[in-house]
Structure 1
Amino acid sequence: MESSFDSEQRRMPNQATLSVDNIGGIDETEVTFQQGVTVLSGRNATNRTSLLQGIMAALGSDRVSLKADADEGGATLSFGDETYHRSLQRGGGTVVTDGDPYLDDPELADLFAFLLESNEARRAVARGDDLRELIMRPVDTEAITAEIEQYEQRKRDIDDRLAELDDLENRLPDLEAKRTRVVDEIDRLQDELETAQAALEDANVDVEERRADQSELEERLDELRETRSELERTRDRVETERESIEALETERAEVEERLDELSTGEETELDRLEAEIDVLQDEKAELSEEISQLQSTIQFNEQLLEESTEILGGGEATDSGPVTDQLLPDDDSETITCWTCGSSVARDQIETTIEQLRSARQDRLEERSDVSAELDEKRSTLDEINENRSAYRRAERRLESIDDEIGRRRDRIDELTAEREALTDEIDDLEATIDDLETEDYGDVLEQHREVNQLEFELERKERERDEIDDEIASIEDQLDERDRLEAEQEDIREALTELRTRIDQIEADAVEAFNEHMENLLDTLEYDNLDRIWIDRTTREVREGRRKVSKSTFDLKIVRSTDDGAAYEDSIDHLSESEREVTGLVFALAGYLVHDVYETVPFMLLDSLEAIDSARIATVVDYFEEYAPFLVVALLEEDAQAIEGDHGVISEI
């Protein structure tokens, strides 16, 4: 099966050309790289690291230095059909960058692809830094948390809707049974009405045969029937309005109860929280700025240590002896001249300062984490208060709406009641008139009309009831049609939540697995004496974030050695040889490189400062890393470069 790296490598151009001017110790140069390994071979102070910085500059890194005697410089990378450029310009005591580099965000590359001596991933192992924090730094955990909350809210909405659909579906059997009863009642009323109409028709025929002059009676009887029907409809409308008022009054009681539960006396608390949030946001911003400044200062001093020999040497060694010897003063205390201010400082003093800066940066990171946790807590409380206030206002508006609706319906009842009374009076008058018109031969005609009128009205009401039930059943069935879509979306959300909730855990697990696997593979090949195993043990511990205690993962670096007689014992990073530490740091960087799929966005991996590792082991490391990087550029001393086997490019003059 093809790996994603193999596929990415095939899509990538086979060649890249780099032009550099006034970066590090380089005046001007142009080199071409082929896919695979390129070795920068030469003695110290031959601008190998400066060329690596040129690559970094063109790719987008800010961790590059402008030549000490130049005010501007830059790097251009021609890669396939595209050209990328980065310019550097000195001004106001700082170096400003501009242009269109290969990467918009160089963070992943700086951490896991540009493995120079000062690379943070390499140094983290030797310094005993928080390995987990470094691996997880590129992951936007806040964005993941926000996305989880959005999915959880949508899932709650779907759960509520599905519960409503369940309730609706449970109503269907009762509605079907009710419809059956109403249809049976309609059938019965239709039979009775047909019988009553036939009897009335017979009576009317008899009347016509015997008393044709009774037409006025028939008219009054028809009018009575219509009036009775109108009266029944009016009574029905009155009853409907009363039922609506009862429902509204029930809802009003519920809204009033809700209003009692909601509190509006939170204005002071709201103002206090908003003020505290503003203070915490300012504090967090200040801490972030301080952390950024500390990191820049640390990087500057690390680059000063790393580049001092090369920058001061100006590129090549002279006849007066090796450049490294020229930098050593007579009193055996090595000093370094800062290429920005010109002052001389002892190397050990710079190293001590760097350690103090790292400690201060770690303190600020922890302080910012506490501030962030407290800020999240106060924002959550503020959101709750605001939602409470919004709910209160909505309830007040609904209560006003209910009162208005109740008032309108009561006015309507008064109108219908007056109409009903008028219809009742009209019926009384009609019945009196009919009584006067009818004779003893037609004594039962009025009663038959009344019976027909009542049956017609009841039949009409039952048919309306049947139609309403049909509409309700159809509405429920239409709503139930969305269940499949909701359940499918619900399952998608469950999968998305599972993926999001496990994403951070999976990245941590993958990083540990990658480190342990590659560390084991390399140790087997490198054959360090009595070094049995190096691995990361991933554990969890309780830490405080603001007022809360949360579980966080930690990466503990474990080392096992064995004595001459084969007894195993646990050791610490402090007891590793310099070679062993360097290999461990490189493997940790490789783990981050693979876990974050850096090869998908960064075509180059850069290796420098491998002198602590012997030539044979360097060759093994280079051969191992070549499998994972499209373009692997390695800066080596001449004797170390000779140990690299296979078909690869060599650049010996820069």
Structure 2
Amino acid sequence: MESELAEKKETVPTAATLTVDNIGGIDNAEVTFQEGVTVLSGRNATNRTSLLQAVMAALGSDQVSLKADADEGSAELEFGDERYRRKLTRQNGAIITDGEPYLEDPDIADLFAFLLESNEARRAVARGDDLRELIMRPVDTAAIQTEIEQCEQRKRSIDEQLEELDGLEQRLPDLEAKRKRVTDEIDDLQEELEEAQAELDEANVDVEERREEQSELETKLGELRDTRSELERTRNRIETERESIDALEDEREDVQQKLESLSAGDDADIGRLEAEIETLQEEKAELSKEISQLQSTIQFNEQLLEEPDSVLADASEPADDAGDDGAITDQLLDDSETVTCWTCGSSVARDQIETTIEQLRDAREDRIQERTEINSDLEERRETVSTINESRSEYQQTQRRLDSIDDEIASRNDRIDELTDDREALTDDIDELETEIDDLETDDYSGILDQHKEVNQLEFKLERKERERDEIDDEISSIEDRLGNREDLEARREDVTDELTDLRTRIEQIEENAVSAFNEHMENLLDTLEYGNLDRVWIARTTREAREGRRKVTKSSFDLKIVRSTDSGTAYEDSIEHLSESEREVTGLVFALAGYLVHDVYETVPFMLLDSLEAIDSDRIASVIEYFESYVPYLIVALLEEDAQAVETNHERVTEI
């Protein structure tokens, strides 16, 4: 991890220049950040948070706000040889973004790199929310499950091929024995044929002088031999067709059984599911819009509390009334307990606005939770539709194969009928030829017909046996060729098994890495920060079996554990609610850092932004910054002047925006 971070720091540009127009409380500004730590130092209402929002905007985040009196704004980041520009436009109360930012998808950066006060990871720790859900949100678990299923299918296919090879290998001894037996039979037939041929040749010599007179008989004998040969071939073809039909009938039975186990799918079910998916997508889009609007309102009100003069000065005073410039700002600065409401202009207690902001945050979290649940419902329905479609596709393919087998069986039966007719016709021809030969036979040719028949029969048998031997040789050769691929198949199976193991453990590994990273960094920082009786803060990962749709899966949860000790040294377990605000903030930051490292966010965006650290004392802030600096190429931190004084002086500082 450290070597990867070091390599990343070596490859990123050494400086970044940001140009801002009408974002937050900023009219326009240009700031250059050097690689390493940049401290935005100043009192409240000096646009430090607005500058961080501008950085976020240029990087791709939607969690930014326009200046109150502007309908358009922009942020441009010059980073190395590239320029990234983002334009913001106010339309119907919402902020619309356009342009080419640094990130195409800012979600992971919003979670683990842009650590402003409203950052979801920081707030989740403070509230005691489900930390596992946040860590695993960037992981496409559905895609991993699909990969697992595809990998399992490949492994089953290879296993079937290896099992088939085992069966073929077991057949080899029987085939070798059969080939030897057929070869012996061929040798015997060749000897018999030679003897029969010699006897026929001898008989032919005895009547050589009268051969011309008997040429018609010889012709008929030749025709008889050819016709018998054709008859034998026809019989063999009929036998081959019947064997093929038997094999097809066996396959048809298997295919029919498979077809009966499948479902053709119900169009009504698919239609209902697709309608539900469309409804859920609309609900999700509406929730996303509400979340965006709530975020804009929250950020505006947060900015109103921190930088009231920059938000309200231009929006509250007429442009031509120079004598009253700064009147509202002066009121806000004179009375830190009240703020002028931006909607009605009346004076409102700060704690009332803070309560409203908290309510808005809770509402936003509720919407995010609703969207998460809708996402889960969407995935479940999409998976169901996919399963139905896969089953339907397999059913249709099986039905097509069954139809194809039926067609082939019918075609082969027709062929058998044709061959049977041919066989009967050839049999009739042979009977006719034998009758003609009997009529032509003389005493001198007595017995020659029988000898011809014997020679013909031996030739037929020999030809058939030689063909049978050739078929056995071909089968043995084919099996040996296929067995030669066993090593390749076994290697592929090993690769697929390794891939399957990696996929099955990928989610678990990410979880374990996240827990390990948090626990390691939390331990290191607690040793450095020395929080009195706070002995240890760590995450314990627990698992349980649960059903997800039709699958049984392992569910994990992250439980935040806290141990304190009394003055007498007795250790006891505590809860997040009892941590001080400073302790909660540090815990939230470490959790975000763990996510930043586990998901290699530094590979995606080499920036991390820190804001609203006032709950932590100055010396500890300096220690946190020093610790984070080792893991982030660009760390930009917004601090009050008194907190900035405790940070090392060699860091870049921005005091005017």
Scaled by the length of structure 2, the TM-score of the pair is 0.90
Structure 2 vs 1, CA of residues 25 and 376 (structure 1 numbering), >3 Å: closer, same or farther?
closer
Q: Is the 8 A contact 1:41 1:652 kept in 2?
A: yes
The reply to whether residue 451 of structure 1 matches residue 454 of structure 2 is yes
Task: Return the offset for 1:214.
Answer: 4.8
**Conserved? CA contact 1:287–1:364, under 8 Å:** no
Is 1:501–2:504 an aligned residue pair?
Answer: yes
Is residue 2:278 matched to residue 1:274? no
The yes-or-no answer on 1:292 pairing with 2:295 is no
Q: Counterpart of 1:429?
A: 435
What are the residue-to-residue correspondences of 1:475-486 with 2, within 5 Å? 475-486=478-489
User: Bigger shift: 176-185 or 160-169?
Assistant: 160-169
d(CA) in 1 for partners of 2:572, 2:268? 57
Mapped to 1, the partners of 2:615 and 2:211 lie a distance apart of 133
**Of 248-257 and 300-309, the range deviating more from structure 2:** 248-257
Query: Which amino acid in structure 1 is aligned with residue 272 of structure 2?
Result: E
Asked if 2 retains the 8 angstrom alpha-carbon contact of 1:227 and 1:427, the reply is no
Return the alpha-carbon distance in structure 2 between the equivalents of residues 92 and 575 of structure 1.
43
Secondary structure (helix, strand or coil) at the match of 2:636 reads strand
1:68-124 CA distances to partner (integer Å, 9 max, x unpaired)?
122222111111111111112223222221111111111111111111111111111
Name the residue aligned to 1:337. 341
Q: Which residue does the alignment assign to 1:204?
A: 204
Question: One-letter code of the match for 1:364?
Answer: E
Is residue 17–residue 77 contact of structure 1 (8 Å, CA) maintained in 2?
Answer: yes
2:641 aligned to 600, 613, 638, which one? 638
Q: Compute the displacement of 1:140 (Å).
A: 1.3
**Which residue identity lines up with residue 270 of structure 1 in the other structure?**
D
Q: 2-side partners of 1:543 and 1:219: how far apart? A: 87
- Contact 1:23-1:66 at 8 Å conserved across structures: yes
Aligned partners of 2:394, 2:211: CA distance in 1, in Å? Answer: 79
Structure 2 residue aligned with 1:308: 304
**Could you say which residue in structure 2 is the equivalent of 1:615?**
618
Partner of 2:317 in structure 1?
A: none
Q: 2:417 aligns with which of 411, 415, 420?
A: 411
Identity level (%): 60
- Secondary structure at the aligned position of 1:3 is classed as helix
User: CA separation of 1:243/1:633 partners in 2, compared to 1, >3 Å: closer, same or farther?
Assistant: closer
Given that 2:217 and 2:437 are in contact with CA atoms closer than 8 Å, whether structure 1 keeps it comes out as no
Q: Would the alpha carbon gap of residues 73 and 381 (structure 1) be closer, same or farther in structure 2, given more than 3 Å must change?
A: closer
Instruction: For residue 303 of structure 1, report the CA deviation from its aligned partner.
Output: 1.4
Q: Deviations over 1:181-232 (max 9, x none)?
A: 2122212222222222222222222332688755555444444433433333
Contact 1:16 1:34 in 2 (8 A): yes
Conserved 8 A contact 2:312-2:342 = no
Partner AA of 2:89 in structure 1: Q
CA distance in 2, matches of 1:21, 1:603: 23
Mapping of residues 383-394 of structure 1, within 5 Å: 383=389, 386-387=392-393, 389-391=395-397, 393-394=399-400
Q: Which amino acid aligns with 1:307?
A: Q
Change (3 A) 1:608 1:356: closer
**Structure 1 residues 252 and 534 mapped into 2: Cα distance closer, same or farther (>3 Å)?**
closer
Distance 1:324 1:458 in 2: 118
CA distance in 1, matches of 2:197, 2:552: 84
My pick for the range that moved more, 384-393 or 1-10, is 384-393
Residue of structure 1 in register with 2:381 after alignment? 375
Aligned-partner residue type, residue 337 of structure 1: C
Contact 2:77 2:83 in 1 (8 A): yes
- AA partner of residue 309 (structure 1): L
Q: Secondary structure at the match of 1:570?
A: strand
Q: Distance in 2 between matches of 1:254 and 1:588?
A: 56
Task: Give RMSD over aligned pairs.
Answer: 3.1
- Local SS of the residue matching 1:30: strand
Deviations, residues 385-441 of structure 1 (Å, cap 9, x unaligned) = 524641563255135404522441232233223223223323422441343x233xx
Measured in 2, the distance between the counterparts of 1:381 and 1:275 equals 14
Task: Provide closer, same or farther for how the CA distance between residues 160 and 253 of structure 1 changes in structure 2, counting only shifts above 3 A.
Answer: closer
Query: Aligned partner of 1:619: which letter?
Result: A
Query: What is aligned with 2:321?
Result: none
State the shift of 1:461 in Å.
1.0
* Offset from partner CA, 1:322-355 (integer Å, 9 cap, x none): 969726869x5x556347x878873244145235
Residue range with higher mean Cα deviation, 359-368 or 80-89: 359-368
Is the CA contact (8 Å cut-off) linking 1:231 and 1:424 kept in structure 2? no
Q: 1:238 to 1:120 in 2, by over 3 A?
A: closer
Residue from 625, 629, 642 that aligns with 1:626: 629
- SS of alignment partner, residue 428 of structure 2: helix
Match of 1:530 among 530, 533, 548: 533
Q: Give unpaired runs (5+ residues) of structure 1.
A: none
Counterpart in the other structure of 2:467: 464
Aligned equivalent of 1:148 = 148
Inter-partner Cα distance in structure 1 for 2:419 and 2:223: 25
For 2:486 and 2:5, the matched residues in 1 are separated by 42
Structure 2 distance, partners of 1:591, 1:36, is 19
Structure 2 unmatched ranges of 5 or more: 314-323
The answer to whether the 8 Å contact 1:538/1:555 transfers is yes
| CA displacement, residues 36-87 of structure 1 (integer Å, 9 cap, x when unaligned) | 1111111111111111111111111111111112222211111111111111
Q: 1:102 to 1:178 in 2, by over 3 A?
A: same
Taking the TM superposition and a 5 Å limit, the aligned residue runs for 1:45-194 are: 45-194=45-194
Encode CA deviations 1:259-291: one digit per residue, 9 max, x unaligned.
6x3578x7xx71331233024213421442344
Partner of 2:404: 398
1:516 maps to 2:522:
no
Output the CA distance in 1 between the equivalents of 2:63 and 2:514.
25
- Check the 8 A contact 2:227/2:426 in 1, yes or no: no
C-alpha distance in 2 between matches for 1:154 and 1:473 = 28
Q: Could you tell which deviates more after superposition, 467-476 or 101-110?
A: 467-476
1:556 equivalent among 559, 574, 599: 559
Give yes or no for contact 2:582–2:616 (8 Å, CA) kept in 1. yes
Contact (CA 8 Å) 2:298, 2:361: kept in 1 or not?
no
Give TM-score scaled by structure 1 length.
Answer: 0.90
Shift of the 400–323 alpha-carbon distance from structure 1 to 2, 3 Å rule, reads: same
Matched, 1:583 2:586: yes
In the other structure, the counterpart of 1:12 is 12
Q: Which residue of 2 aligns with 1:574?
A: 577
3-state DSSP of counterpart to 2:609 = strand
Structure 1 residue 620: deviation in Å?
0.5
Secondary structure (helix, strand or coil) at the match of 2:75 reads strand
Give 1:298 shift: 4.2
* CA spacing shift, 1:71–1:297, aligned 2, 3 Å: closer
User: Shift of residue 156 of structure 1?
Assistant: 2.1
Q: Secondary structure, in 3 states, of the residue corresponding to 2:207?
A: helix
Alpha-carbon distance in 1 for matches of 2:101, 2:327: 39
Q: Relative to structure 1, is the Cα distance of residues 502 and 343 closer, same or farther in structure 2, using a 3 angstrom cutoff?
A: farther
CA pair 556-243 structure 1, distance change in 2 beyond 3 A: closer
User: Do the aligned residues in 1 keep the contact of 2:295 with 2:364 (CA within 8 Å)?
Assistant: no
Kindly provide the CA deviation profile for residues 531-583 of structure 1, in whole angstroms up to 9, marking residues without a partner as x: 00000111124556568775421111111100000000111111111111111
